[in-house]
Chains A and B, each alone.
Chain A
Amino acid sequence: MMSEFIIRNGHVFDPVQGIKGDKKDIAVKDGKIVESVSSGARVINAAGKTVMAGALEIHAHVAGPKVNAGRWYRPEDKHFDSHKKPGMTRIEGGKSIPTVFKTGYEYARMGFTFAMEAAMPPLYARHVHEEIHDTPIIDEAALPVFGNNWFILEYLKNHEVENTAAYIAWVLRQTKGYGVKCVNPGGTEAWAWGLNCLTIHDPVPYFEITPAEIIKGLIEANEFLGLPHSMHLHQNDLGNPGNYKTTIDSLKLAEGIKARNNFGREQVLHSTHLQFHSYGGTNWGDFESKAKEVMEYVNKQKNLTIDTGNVTLDETTTMTADGPFEHHLHGLNHLKWFNVDVELETAAGIVPFIYDPSNAVFCSQWAVGLEIPLYAKDPMRCFITTDHPNAGPFTRYPRVYSWLMSKKVRDELLNGFKKADKVIGATTLANIDREITLYELAAMTRAGPAKALGLSKDYGGLKPGMNADIAIYNINPDKFPSTGPEIEKAFANVAYLFKDGKICVEEGKVVDMGKKQTFWVDAKVKENKQVMHDVREKFLRYYSVNENNYPVPESYAPHQHIISVDATQ
């Protein structure tokens, strides 16, 4: 039996109810937020503190084969940083690719209660679920990748949206997946022929389909099913100067499509780590920010959401299903390169990367990442990520918040860069005065991502009836900390974290491992003989595993939270 709590006198920030820092009491009973509790409830004094819902991570690489490959091929990432902290926690290793234990603890210490693994190769879904199951405290889900999958390419070549949807529903059930991820549509498959798709009109060899057709078809299939989350897109031509045109071209594909779902989700396309896709110029010499142009389009287009992908200027590990991009990166920095091809489905690459603050390009990337949220008119549609670990480790969120919330803090860094003049010339950050407020931050990290993931009924807010996932920070909004390190410290160590109505972190110290759950979406579709025939045939002809060994067994995800969708109508 859970106990009752009353969180008294905290400054509450909740975009779900429109509460902007008013002093309010929050009552908790049996894992839910309630109107009132009995007099026996434990009192948590939150006077002078900030109270928000638990944060939701919408895009991070935290579980699965490519994350683990990063761990084993980078022992140097954890050498100086793998001691045991006092208390009930286990040894915590790794900086950019932490162990599953550290991943759970660190998210919880920062006030997070949910994380989305952003790229699950369906064939290796078991490994993803093994790691998710071992990550303590936080709830998690995973997005299977579809953008280079042979079934999808064949169906969408003939614009067979219903077959695409039936296949997606089948994969979600086999892999216990949450939604539709699409990475470098067509490009990863083209790379098997030594090519890439750098615009949305480059044809994919053999399949004779373009990225534009894949993107649009997946959006339509996603809405056909009415999934809680929208299509989640990592665009073509990531990280190259001049790519912002391709970015806007891709976003335009969503024009005129309406969200169709029962989860309160309004967007039909989530464009991830937009920082990497908002570059102008023709080479690294005349490289410049186009965040303003990209965000002007995003602000107008209400059926889009985005996340930032903030560069944190750290040594990190890049890892993506965008195989050709990782090969390109290895050619730039000559560091060790890992690559794997996942049969009919996808690929992945890994390269260590040092975002050196003495390099003008990396500093400009840092600036672009901050410009995107600062240009965002609707914080409910713009979420903060570091595309962990690609642009930086997720453990740097407190530092990213300090740059967004204090012009002084970010300008000090900007003006102190070795190549400050070049960075200021190539970006517009120096001219932006906006500072993100605590209320906007709650939208960007709680209410917004919850809504985009179709979880707004129970998560991302503090309304009675919602799940009691609550973060209390040692931040007095009336005396907001003025220095970077103070802001960082406050966001890195919650005063309290409630997960499902239980205190899991107290003053930055993990005190309970919580009751983590794996979320996945079970979409019912009409029986589709064509798709089941194609599945059978592909397993017989091409897959290295038997069809019966493909699904993720129940034992791999023993604590499931299944969201059902009926797409038979």
Chain B
Amino acid sequence: MNTVTLTVKNAPELFLECENVNPDVFAGKKADQIAKLGAFQGKEITTLGDYFTIAGEAGATAAETKIVINGDCTKMKYIGAKMTAGEVVVNSACDMYTGSWMKGGKLVVNGDVHSFCGLAMAGGEFTINGNAGNYLGAAYRGDWRGMSGGVLRVKGNAGSDVATFMTGGEMIIEGNVDIHLGTHMEGGKIILKGNANRRVGGQLVKGEIYVFGSINVMMPGYKPVRDVDLEVDGTKAKFTEYIGDLGERHPKRKGETVYGKLYMKQ
């Protein structure tokens, strides 16, 4: 695997749209070609070379390409967005859309990410070694297609409206979340190691949510049905199983109604 190292030399004045910073675009390119790739700053088209010092060269394919980014990326959007293979490591905090629409590969952010990251993620591994903002792994504004695959892990806390319209994949939040976790969920799995504020699983049709801590205010549409012993993300414990959201439409399978599941650690 070849490594390309990007080091921030000029901070953008506005926010920089780094749609071209991913292994798929870099594949087969040398440092000088990468420097010429476009990046929007507002409505102006600039190049990556205007902001980064670029060292190394990419592999022949995305899968053979690793990108390491050093310096302050807090005003950079779309890093690793739409990547399908390879690896990206960002040693900074990042702005919106980081890892959004990701289909494969590995993305690690050694810092915080802003809101709307991991949107509609469909595959790969996305790890945030800091905190995440709102709408993590949710659907884009207005859209009804949220995270559908892959594994998204946050070491810290996440904000509100996390995993809205999730239909598949796995999300692990090791800290706490604010309101609206897994709203409109129709599949997939959320593991929350910390606490949630209110409205967990509102209008949830299908899917599973595991909560290790507490929920400040429980949704009224959830009903406890039994106690189960489970191993969740390496932790063995007894959980109370709830079904819900009982106020929502639920599909039938072999004559049985399929409910969403909420597991609360005892």
Contact = CB atoms under 8 A, between A and B. Distances in A.
B43 A84 contact: yes
Contact of A76 (B40, B43, B45, B141): B141
Contacts of A84: 43, 45
B144 A75 contact: no
Contacts of B139: 76
Contact of A75 (B40, B43, B45, B140): B140
A98 to B, nearest CB: 16
A86 B43 CA distance: 10
B142 A74 contact: yes
Nearest to B43: A84
A336 interface: yes
Interface size class of A (residues with CB under 8 A): 10 to 19
Interface in B133-159: 139-144
B20 to A, nearest CB: 12
Interface string A42-82: 00000000000000000000000000000001111101000
Contacts of A335: 144
A73 B43 contact: no
A515 interface: no
Listed residue (A77, A83, A335, A336) with the most chain B CB atoms within 10 angstroms of its CB: A83
A73 B142 contact: yes
Contact of A83 (B40, B141, B142, B144): B40
Contacts of B45: 84, 86
Interface string A77-119: 1010001101000010000000000000000000000000000
B83 to A, nearest CB: 15
Interface string A267-283: 00000000000000000
A76 B143 CA distance: 6
A326 to B, nearest CB: 17
Contact of B140 (A79, A83, A86, A91): A79
A73 B141 CA distance: 9
Contacts of B43: 84, 91
Contacts of B142: 73-77, 336
Nearest to A83: B40
A338 to B, nearest CB: 11
Listed residue (B43, B142, B143) with the most chain A CB atoms within 10 angstroms of its CB: B142
Interface string B7-50: 00000000000000000000000000000000010010100000
A75 B143 CA distance: 8
Nearest to A336: B144
Nearest to B82: A80
Contacts of A83: 40
Contacts of B141: 75-76, 79
A356 to B, nearest CB: 13
A67 B251 CA distance: 33
Nearest to B141: A75
Nearest to A86: B45
Nearest to B120: A76
B117 to A, nearest CB: 15
Nearest to A73: B142
A331 B143 CA distance: 18
A335 B141 CA distance: 14
Listed residue (A73, A74, A76) with the most chain B CB atoms within 10 angstroms of its CB: A76
Listed residue (A79, A84, A86) with the most chain B CB atoms within 10 angstroms of its CB: A79
A343 B64 CA distance: 62
Contacts of A79: 140-141
A362 B139 CA distance: 26
A254 B40 CA distance: 56
A468 to B, nearest CB: 33
Interface in B202-221: none
Interface string A174-196: 00000000000000000000000
B225 to A, nearest CB: 27
Contacts of A74: 142
A84 B139 CA distance: 25
Nearest to A79: B140
A91 B40 CA distance: 12
Interface in B104-149: 139-144
A91 B143 CA distance: 22
Contacts of A76: 139-143
B235 to A, nearest CB: 36
A187 B141 CA distance: 33
Contacts of A86: 45
Contacts of A77: 142
Interface in B198-252: none
A73 B45 CA distance: 28
Interface string A343-368: 00000000000000000000000000
A386 to B, nearest CB: 22
Interface string A482-513: 00000000000000000000000000000000
A79 B141 CA distance: 9
A2 B142 CA distance: 47
A86 B144 CA distance: 32
Contacts of A336: 142, 144
A289 B211 CA distance: 53
Contacts of B144: 335-336
B159 to A, nearest CB: 19
A336 B139 CA distance: 14
Contacts of A73: 142
A92 to B, nearest CB: 11
Nearest to B144: A335
Contacts of B140: 75-76, 79
A463 to B, nearest CB: 43
A77 B142 CA distance: 9
8 contacts: A73-B142, A75-B142, A76-B139, A77-B142, A79-B141, A86-B45, A91-B43, A336-B144
Given A73-B142, A91-B43, 19 more contacts: A74-B142, A75-B140, A75-B141, A75-B142, A76-B139, A76-B140, A76-B141, A76-B142, A76-B143, A77-B142, A79-B140, A79-B141, A83-B40, A84-B43, A84-B45, A86-B45, A335-B144, A336-B142, A336-B144
Interface of A: 73-77, 79, 83-84, 86, 91, 335-336
- Among all A-B residue pairs, the 5 with the closest Cβ atoms: A76-B143, A75-B142, A76-B142, A75-B141, A84-B43
